[in-house]
Every structure is written in structure tokens, then in C-alpha cells.
Amino acid sequence: MVYVLNDFQTGNEYSEDFHPDDLSQHIKILLSKIPQDTHIDGDTDSLSELNNTTSSNSSVRNSDSISYRRHPKEASEAPTDPMSTEMILEEIKRFEKELAHIKKLTLYYLLLSNAILFLFTTFINYVFEKGNWALSDSFWFSFTAFTTLGYGDVVPEKRTTMAFFGLFVVLGISLFSYIIVLSVDFFYNYAKKKIDGYLAKFG
């Protein structure tokens, strides 16, 4: 899946293609164009609110996925036009929301794919080990293998089962690991947003 980003709001042209993970690169490019000490309020949605936000020079910029303060050298190259700054801030928020949406869809598809693969390998292993395993044994073996627990209490006895599962266990572990990474990322961003909200409210 490839996304081509055309930045019409800020007048920048990007001829290269960006994969979903590279949206953060585009956000960093936009951040480099914002004057020093400008901030983004995570709960701000409209340009009028962004205008009030950017008028304060004593604030620290926050967003849903970024906490970033630029180097003074970068600030010297930033635009001084308030409207230009507002458009850049709005562009950053738009791409951050798009990035979060892509991650959410990716997590859903990974969960579905992992569930299908898990049930498929459970059934096939049960067929191969019929007479040696109950269906619960095949289920437990698939679970311990995909989660890398590997207790060793249930092991395949036939070479056919070993060969089949050897082909699928790498894919299963990869999917499961990616699901864990995305889940931790969602939890981190959610907790960070809540903490930033409390700090802004009571600080």
C-alpha cells in the first residue's frame, strides 16, 4: 500500500512516494517550518483555535503522537506569516490522524490474519496427529508455538506435522510479534495523550 502525499496547503511539492510509516517523515518536514516555541494543542481541531494557540510564545508544542521542540537554527528558517504557520499546523494534525488510522486498520487486519492462521494450523495439526492428539492438544500446541512459550508438554510425533508446522510457525510468530508492537504503540499514545491533557488542565 503506497500513499502519495500532495501538500497543497503549504505549497510544498513531494514527488516521492511515502509508505504509511513514512508519514512521520512528512510530519517532521512540516515541523521544521514552524517558528520556535509554537505549540499544537492535542484537542485543537479548527484553524481559529490553532490561531489562538500559535499566538502564545511561552507554550510547548504537543500533538497526539509528537512532543517536539526544534533547534534555534531550524527556527531561523521558519516562516513568520501566522497564516502559513496555521496551515502547517493543520497539515501536521491531518497527517497524524491519517497515520493513526492506518495503524488501526493494520492492527485489525493482523488480528484477523493471525486468528485465521492459528485456527488453520490447529486443524491441520489435529488431522496429521489424529489418534495421538485431541483437538485441545492441537490448539494448545499452536498457542504455545505462536506465542513462543514452548513448554514442551505437547510435541508432534509425526514428521509430516513437524514439516508443516515448521513452515507456518515463522509466519505466525512474526504476525503475533507485530500485533504486540502495535498494541503497545496504541497504549503508549493513549496514555501520553491523557497525561498531556491532565498536565495542561492542572498545570
Separation between Cα atoms, residue 195 and residue 75, nearest integer Å? 27
pLDDT of residue 23: 63
Residue 163 sits at φ, ψ, to 5 deg, of -65, -45
Domain end residue (candidates: 102, 128, 151) = 102
- Is the same domain home to 115 and 180? yes
pLDDT of residue 26: 67
- Is the same domain home to 114 and 43? no
Query: Smallest Cα–Cα separation from 38: which of 97, 82, 99, 93?
Result: 82
pLDDT of residue 124: 92
pLDDT of residue 22: 62
Separation between Cα atoms, residue 138 and residue 196, nearest integer Å? 46
pLDDT of residue 45: 40
- Is the same domain home to 67 and 109? no
How many domains in the chain?
2
pLDDT of residue 139: 93
Domain end residue (candidates: 102, 120, 138) = 102
The low-confidence residues of the chain, meaning pLDDT below 50, are 1-18, 41-78
CA dihedral 80, 84, 89, 90 (to 10 degrees): 170
Domain end residue (candidates: 82, 102, 122) = 102
- Is the same domain home to 70 and 119? no
Q: Which residues span the domain enclosing 114?
A: 105-189
Task: Give the bridge partners for 130, in sequence order.
Answer: 133
pTM over 0.75: no
- Is the same domain home to 96 and 114? no
